[in-house]
Amino acid sequence: MTTFKEIRGTAIQVVSSDPSNPETGQIWYNSSSGTLKGYKTVNAFSSGGNLSTARAQLGGAGTQTAALATGGFSTAVTNITELYNGTSWTSSGNLGTPTRIMGSAGTQTAAVIFGGYPEINRTEKFNGSTWTSSGTLNTARILAGAGTQTAALGFGGYTTANTAATEAYNGTSWTSVTSMNTARRGHGGAGTQTAALGFGGYTTVFTAATEAYNGTSWTSVTSMNTARETVAGAGTQTSALGFGGGTPTASAATELWNGTSWTSNPTGLGTARAGLAGVGTQTSALAFGGQIPSVTAATEEWNSVAVQTITVS
């Protein structure tokens, strides 16, 4: 009979106390407690510092510990910009024009926003303290974004109808490139200008459809598990995170993308919401703002947290 040792090349270790620094996937038998134990990594959101101004449909850029939040809808469309340092938000220079549901990309000190409601084609760049106008979209619309300040991608959205239009930005001007396969609005975005991911949104129904862009064309790939619009995203084309959105009720659902398929995380956002923003990576992301249905200032930090699981022998 084949044994575990023959398959893995090692036996399950018998110890009197748990290892001080176990590796993911490691299994051992604790002879003192009489339990078989294993070590795995789980992902979860935890509360961060709230935005100073509660709002939904806002733009975001940066990382979990150096994020930017701008625009959105509070009691009215706003141009407020805030910066996050991993603990709290502070006010910074305002957008030139109040806007919401815009595309956004870049870092906290080199961000770009484009388009938005009411279907404007304006582009603004942020240098860490002030915003300046820089170029106009070819198709004025609300849309999703990915990339950096000097190499951004704007895709999909809504003008007088849903659109699949895609445009590339070089830091100065926009160029129309190959459209998405499915016209939609309220979708999430992740990745770079030449390796982007678009997911979820609204066509004539809530959709889970996902598409990958290679710098030349879009390819339909495996859909999300939960169809929704106004979903937030973070990460790259091969390692992304999608969370929140409307189904139409506010959702806490969180999914991880590995470049091939989406996996639903057992736990989602602490505060279910739609119209939120997301930044960061698949293992270290930030979710902020949104609508529950009232607007919220809630900020949540997503991290991989290692925990032990115990099976009684």
Interval 185-235: pLDDT, tens: 999 999 999 999 999 999 999 999 999 999 999 999 999 999 999 999 999
Of all residues in the chain, what percent are helix, strand and coil, respectively (each to 5)?
Answer: 0, 45, 50
Same domain? For 123 and 20 the reply is no
Three-class DSSP category at 5: helix
Same domain? For 31 and 56 the reply is no
Same domain? For 35 and 166 the reply is no
Residue keyed to tokens 């030449």 = 194
% of the chain beyond a pLDDT of 70: 93
- Averaged pLDDT score across all residues of the chain: 93
Same domain? For 8 and 113 the reply is no
Q: Are 115 and 154 in contact (CB under 8 A)?
A: yes
Band of the pLDDT at 5, cuts 50, 70, 90? Answer: very low
Classify residue 117 as exposed, middle or buried by CB count within 10 Å of its CB (0-12, 13-18, 19+).
middle
Domain housing 164: 46-302
Task: Please write the tens of the pLDDT for every residue from 107-121.
Answer: 999 999 999 998 899
Could you tell me whether strands 131-136 and 142-147 are parallel, antiparallel, or unpaired per DSSP bridges? unpaired
Position 140 scores a pLDDT of 96
Same domain? For 33 and 122 the reply is no
Q: Is a pLDDT exceeding 90 seen at residue 17?
A: no
Domains: count for the chain: 2
Same domain? For 187 and 239 the reply is yes
Position 309 scores a pLDDT of 56
Structure tokens at 22: 């176990």
Task: Please write the tens of the pLDDT for every residue from 57-114.
Answer: 999 999 999 999 999 999 999 999 999 999 999 999 999 999 999 999 999 999 999 9
Same domain? For 191 and 245 the reply is yes
Query: What are the backbone dihedrals phi and psi of residue 108, each rounded to the nearest 5 degrees, phi first?
Result: -65, -35
Same domain? For 69 and 33 the reply is no
CA neighbours closer than 13 Å in the CB half-sphere of residue 253:
21
Q: Is a pLDDT exceeding 70 seen at residue 127?
A: yes
pTM of the model: 0.87
CATH code where residue 155 lies: 2.120.10.80
Q: How far apart are the first and last CA of the chain?
A: 22
Same domain? For 115 and 256 the reply is yes
Same domain? For 225 and 265 the reply is yes
Q: What is the mean pLDDT of residues 126-142?
A: 97
Same domain? For 10 and 102 the reply is no
Same domain? For 255 and 297 the reply is yes
